Amino acid sequence: MNTEERQLAEMLHRVTPEPPRRVTVEDIAFRLANEAGTREYRKPRGGRREYREPGTGRRGPRGRGPRNPGRPWHRGWAPALAAASVFVVAGVSAGAAALVSSHQGHHATSTADGPPPSSVSVSSTPSTGPSQPSASTGPTWPPEQVAGGTWGAQLINRQAFTPGSLAVAPDGSSLYAISQGYLDRINAVTGEVVNEVPYTSPIPGFPNRPVVAGTAVWVLTSYSGTNAVLAGYSLSTLAPAGTVTVPVSGQLPSQPQGVLAGGSDGNLYVAAGSSVAAVNPQTRQVTKRITVSGQVSSLAVAPGGGKVAVAVGAFQLKTYDLATGSQLSSSSMNFGGAGGNLIATSGGVWGTVGVGMTQRVWFAPNGDLSQVVMVSQGAGAGLYTVPTSGGGAVWLGGSHSLACANPDTGQVLARTAVPTDHSIVEYFGNVTVAGHGRTYALYQNQAAQQSGVATLVPPAVCSG
Amino acid sequence: MDGRPSEPDGFRDFVESRSNALLRSGWLLTGDWPSAEDLVQTALAAAWPRWDSLIRQDAPEVYVRKIMVNTFLRWRQRRWTGEIATGRLPELQAYGDAFAQIDARQALIAALDRLPARQRAVVVLRYFADQTEAQTAEAMGCSVGAVKAHASKALARLRDAPGLAELMTGGVAS
């Protein structure tokens, strides 16, 4: 080596940082297990996969079967099951969450002559610990136009997910959603569920969306007593990435709705009783705690990362400076219920109030409830009405209409009617926009017994 | 049946002792930790089933680095848009000299980003992994002459990269 080469070598060794974590044998083992599972499934005995109705051996109707024979039928919409199911919109259980419970479990045995189960090394773990992932592949169904093509809606996946649980990876390659007993990773192009990990929300009936931070997707695994526990799973495989236990100050609220949020600083923020805790997902440490007067039932971090908005009681909206922990504002609204499902945009804070049939969405300019505007009326859509933010707009779902709104002013920019199917309502909600602009929503049609992830092509005005 | 092969003898020791260096090489190749980790895991997963043979040849690290480089080159060839974790966390709290460290790392990655993939791989293998020209050629599946040519062109480009000359002649400690 000459002098210049030696200088380069020395500089590379000097400047290259130490990795934040090391690769472990367990990481490799999980990877191999997942790859083995995928290979195993891709070569099923008996060759070609066919979807057959359980118990009958008959081939099911096209487009009505499960998207994954590894989890045959039970996660799709079976007429017999649906007939026996109960779909409750109204009530404290916040409506459409009941959809998920109307379906049977995940890992049933394979159908008579269907392929073998695709799951690999699925283990049951304590509710507070990270679970092991399993990999699965299945047929990808051709996208199917739904709801009369509302905003170009096409169903790319046929599975029942918990409303309000859809999240997307930073690179837009994967979606994450909660189904009955599982956290799923979904191929954002094909709609195929490619990994799953056992997961049950510790707050049934209230939406707590998975949050993507760093290289992991985080969910609450415990939210009671003196601790809130988060578990992270790899964005690419759902392999466990770690857990974080957040001690609670005071008591946890009785109706937590959106108590885990991500900040633009890469941190996770958790409503921990009468405080907000900031968690560094990389070090898995609580790095900051902001004391709040009252129990925090929901929180959202402002886009710039400078402040956090919290809903307290029934209800006050307060904002705090994240750097100093000082309270910046406080206002209240008497609507007979707690505020929840907060999101913060450049123009203010959005959220819901009420549950079930009465749940509606509000917008508080600059986080001030004295100026509150109701942007959607109670539509009986339960969790499908939970507002989301992405792609330069705020999205409002429901059973009557799907709308996008200006994140600065709260003004609705475009709205489209969600049709009914033989007088039975259909639902759109949890609109999620990937970084590359592709737009997704959760969809459900009770009459056709269809549900799953749909792609949307909203009007240009929605993209700001 | 959990789908895993049994862990070969010596594999754990290798992973524990070498994953740090492999990850740093991965970071230089890809420019971010999630991709670096993916790269190292991919290589180690490929090495696992062949471990006994690699130990007999006394060449596990050469093999792992070869897989890393070839996987990296394949990603770049395909302009991979698949499932790579791309989340980049902001650097942790940085004060004083830490700012300079971050600047140095960013300058280094920016300079490496300017290199074609094969030149970048040669820089990492030759000057960071301290492999010989012959080992580098073997890992990349090319001739020693090609390695020399890539190295020469890479050095010329790096010479012109903003801020890198200062780093090479002194600069900030990691």
Q: How confident is the model at residue A196 (pLDDT cuts 50, 70, 90)?
A: very high
Helices within A374-416 (DSSP H only)? none
User: Which residue from B81, B82, B65, B83 is spatially nearest to B29, judged by alpha carbons?
Assistant: B65
Asked if A29 and B4 come within 8 Å (Cβ–Cβ), the reply is: yes
- Is A151 exposed, middle or buried (CB count within 10 Å of its CB: 0-12, 13-18, 19+)? buried
Average pLDDT of the residues of chain A: 75
Q: How many Cα atoms sit within 13 Å of B136 on the Cβ side?
A: 24
pLDDT of residue B7: 82
Asked if A25 and B7 come within 8 Å (Cβ–Cβ), the reply is: yes
Task: Report yes or no: B36 at the A interface, CB cutoff 8 Å.
Answer: yes
Per residue in A241-270, pLDDT (tens digit) is 999 999 999 888 877 889 999 998 999 999
Angstroms from B89 CA to nearest CA on chain A: 5
Task: Report yes or no: B29 at the A interface, CB cutoff 8 Å.
Answer: no
Q: Which residues of B touch A186 (CB under 8 A)?
A: none
pLDDT of residue A286: 93
User: Which residue from A442, A449, A454, A430 is spatially nearest to A73, judged by alpha carbons?
Assistant: A449
Name which of B5, B127, B174 is nearest A32 (Cβ-Cβ): B5
**Separation of alpha carbons A436 and A170, rounded Å:** 9
**Separation of alpha carbons A70 and A73, rounded Å:** 9
Asked if B155 and A8 come within 8 Å (Cβ–Cβ), the reply is: yes
Does A83 or A164 have the greater pLDDT score? A164
pLDDT of residue A40: 34
Cα A326 to Cα A179, A329, A348: the distances in Å are 38, 9, 18
**Separation of alpha carbons A30 and A240, rounded Å:** 9
Cα A349 to Cα A352, A369, B19: the distances in Å are 10, 9, 45
User: Which residue from A94, A91, A96, A44 is spatially nearest to A70, judged by alpha carbons?
Assistant: A44
Angstroms from B146 CA to nearest CA on chain A: 16
* pLDDT over 70, % of chain A: 71
Say if residue A43's pLDDT is above 70. no
Name which of A5, A21, A281 is nearest B127 (Cβ-Cβ): A5
Do A356 and A92 touch, CB atoms closer than 8 A? yes
Task: Report yes or no: B39 at the A interface, CB cutoff 8 Å.
Answer: no
ipTM for this model: 0.85
- Report the SS3 class of residue B154: helix
The answer for A268, left when phi > 0, alpha when psi is -120 to 50, beta otherwise, is: beta
Interface residue of A7, A10, A12, A118 to substitute, partner B, most B CBs within 10 Å: A12
Instruction: Work out the average pLDDT over A36-62.
Output: 33
Helices B133-140/B60-78 angle, 10° precision: 50
Instruction: Work out the average pLDDT over B42-69.
Output: 86
Q: How many contacts (CB atoms, under 8 Å) link A and B?
A: 161
Per residue in A386-445, pLDDT (tens digit) is 889 998 999 988 877 888 999 999 888 988 888 776 666 678 888 999 877 899 999 888
Task: Report yes or no: B89 at the A interface, CB cutoff 8 Å.
Answer: yes
Cα A288 to Cα A20, A212, A247, A284, B137: the distances in Å are 20, 19, 12, 12, 50
* pLDDT over 70, % of chain B: 79
Q: How confident is the model at residue A305 (pLDDT cuts 50, 70, 90)?
A: confident
Return all residues near A149 (Cβ < 8 A) that are at least 6 apart.
Answer: none
Per residue in A344-386, pLDDT (tens digit) is 999 999 998 876 556 678 899 999 998 888 887 654 556 677 8
Cα A266 to Cα A96, A282, B95: the distances in Å are 31, 9, 18
Task: Report yes or no: B15 at the A interface, CB cutoff 8 Å.
Answer: yes
Task: Report yes or no: B11 at the A interface, CB cutoff 8 Å.
Answer: yes
User: Which residue from B173, B40, B130 is spatially nearest to A19, judged by alpha carbons?
Assistant: B40
Say if residue A446's pLDDT is above 50. yes
- Is A108 exposed, middle or buried (CB count within 10 Å of its CB: 0-12, 13-18, 19+)? middle
**Separation of alpha carbons A303 and A267, rounded Å:** 13
pLDDT of residue B146: 94
Task: Report yes or no: B56 at the A interface, CB cutoff 8 Å.
Answer: no
Please state which of the ranges A30-39, A222-231, B46-55 shows the lowest mean pLDDT: A30-39
pLDDT of residue A149: 77
**Separation of alpha carbons A195 and A363, rounded Å:** 36
Chain B contacts in chain A segment 20-39 (CB below 8 A): 20-25, 27-29, 31-33, 35-37
Angstroms from A409 CA to nearest CA on chain B: 30
Which residues, listed in sequence order, are joined to residue A340 by a DSSP beta bridge? Answer: A352
Please state which of the ranges A111-115, A447-451, B72-76 shows the lowest mean pLDDT: A111-115
Say if residue A111's pLDDT is above 50. no
- Helices then strands, counting H and E runs in chain A, come out as 4, 31
DSSP state of B127: I
Per residue in A80-89, pLDDT (tens digit) is 233 222 222 2
